[in-house]
Amino acid sequence: LAFAVAFVFSVLLAFIARRIIRSFLRGIEFDRRVKQWGFSEVAEWSPAHSPSLLMAGLAYWLIILLGILIGISALDASMTQVLVLRLFNYVPHVLAAILIVTVGFFLARFFARSVLISAVNMQVQSARLLSLGVKWLVMLLAGAMALEHLGIGGDIVRLSFAILFGGIVLALALAVGPGSKDMVKP
């Protein structure tokens, strides 16, 4: 009975919160601001290409998940309490991984733009390709760090990242080496 009450209450609360968040975000023109701030990719991921609907949906499901966890903890079974405690102890790791990916995204955009501007100023013909490579390398590093922080994969993620990053560096060294032999001739 306690589980059912907690679940029904969380569904009602989630429904109300989704409506309030959606109307608030539409009121401050959140969709337009997201595109204005340069996050047009977020609109592509979201339902109906609306970041405000995405945020409202995330809040909705988060409240329902918390309601289910509270309902499970009300069952007073030792196994469910251990499960709930482990899930609540894992939440800071998930938040830190989200922060790592977010900072990695911003740094990737910053470094890609910096490399693009520098390469264009140095009149490098493949400046856009070089910028794209830097962007994806930083995103790859951020993704590997987030997975490592979440404890997913353990040594496999670290080893895969090292092999991939080392392969890219080796390929770049081989590509630049023969291509720049005229520049290093005495």
Which is more confidently placed, 42 or 17?
A: 17
Identity of residue 104 = G
State the pLDDT at residue 48: 67
Task: Quote the mean pLDDT of the chain.
Answer: 81
State the pLDDT at residue 70: 77
State the pLDDT at residue 117: 93
Once rounded to an integer, what is the mean pLDDT over residues 49-57? 79
Would the pLDDT of 184 be above 60? no
State the pLDDT at residue 43: 60
Residue 177 to residue 163: CA distance in whole angstroms: 20
Q: Look at the pTM and tell me if it is higher than 0.85.
A: no
Assign 68 a pLDDT band (cuts: 50, 70, 90): confident
Residues 7, 13, 18, 19, Cα dihedral to 10°: 140
Would the pLDDT of 81 be above 60? yes
State the pLDDT at residue 100: 92
Assign 41 a pLDDT band (cuts: 50, 70, 90): low
63 sits in which H/E element:
helix 51-74
Q: Give the model confidence (pLDDT) of 110-160 as tens digits.
A: 999 999 999 899 888 888 988 998 898 889 888 888 888 888 877 777 788
Would the pLDDT of 161 be above 60? yes
Residue 38 to residue 33: CA distance in whole angstroms: 9
Cβ pair 158, 148 in contact under 8 A: yes
